[in-house]
Amino acid sequence: QVQLVNSGGGLVQAGGSLRLSCAASGRAFSSHAIGWFRQAPGKEREFVATISASGAITDYADSVKGRFTISRDNAKSTVFLQMNSLKPEDTAVYYCAARRGTIHYTRAGYDYWGQGTQVTVSS
């Protein structure tokens, strides 16, 4: 069982930056891949980024590639999503999720979810 707590959201102007955190508690965090997803009003929850259990492998949605960076500190059981050059279309609730095994790109592949944190980017 893994419990996840999201934090770091807020209101930022276009072009600005935010860093989201996903703090985990429970067993064997370092054996879980982590994904970040986001959901804008009236839209489906979509994949943003993922990182392997060791941190050696990362991947991103095309819409955020080059602007967002996912990283993790297994000693602190925390995963980060650094978001730069933010755009109004990045406005959404952001969720982290965990799964045992390899990275994954769909919601159904994850077993544990954080509560979400709101990111609002003004134009």
pLDDT digits (tens, 9 = 90+) for 25-81: 977 888 999 999 999 999 999 999 999 999 999 999 999 999 999 999 999 999 999
Residue 26 has a pLDDT of 78
Q: Could you report the per-residue pLDDT of 80-108, keeping only the tens digit for each?
A: 999 999 999 999 999 999 999 899 999 99
Edge-to-edge strands of the sheet including 18-26? 2-7, 18-26, 78-83, 68-73
Do strands 32-39 and 92-100 pair parallel, antiparallel, or not at all (unpaired)?
antiparallel
The vertex-5 CA angle with 13 and 107, nearest 5°, equals 85
